[in-house]
């Protein structure tokens, strides 16, 4: 497990309460694990090509695993982001300010 990446993600959640941390920290472990698995899978071929007919191609097991793990990863990231957005409602962040400006712009158009 990549400790630097784990520490980087944990640092994003320093401001949340202890109860939320008990839920978030195991999810961070899963995200770091999934990132490593996805990186490993990227090194493998995703398509088998029939040597006699290059038009015949089949996805490999690695491509199927990548698709499944990537979906799990994306869902986990969405959960982490939603926690960050909910815990930071009182704080003003540059992203939140930018989103407010965009929202106002499109509301007025």
**What are the pLDDT digits (tens) for 22-56?**
889 999 999 999 999 999 999 999 999 999 999 99
Is residue 51 classed as helix, strand or coil in its secondary structure?
coil
Rounded average pLDDT over 65-69: 97
Residue 95, pLDDT score: 62
Is residue 91's pLDDT more than 60?
Answer: no
Between 49 and 106, residue with greater pLDDT: 49
Between 90 and 59, residue with greater pLDDT: 59
């Amino acid at each position: 497990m990549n400790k630097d990446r784990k520490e980087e993600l944990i640092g994003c959640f320093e401001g949340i309460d202890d109860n939320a941390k008990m839920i978030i920290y195991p999810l961070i472990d899963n995200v770091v694990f999934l990132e490593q698995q996805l990186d490993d899978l990227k090194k493998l071929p995703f398509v088998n090509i029939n040597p006699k007919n290059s038009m015949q191609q089949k996805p490999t097991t690695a491509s199927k695993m990548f698709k499944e793990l990537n979906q799990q990863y994306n869902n986990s990231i969405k959960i982490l982001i939603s926690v960050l957005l909910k815990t930071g409602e009182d704080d003003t962040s540059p992203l939140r300010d930018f989103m407010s400006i965009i929202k106002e712009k499109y509301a007025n158009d």
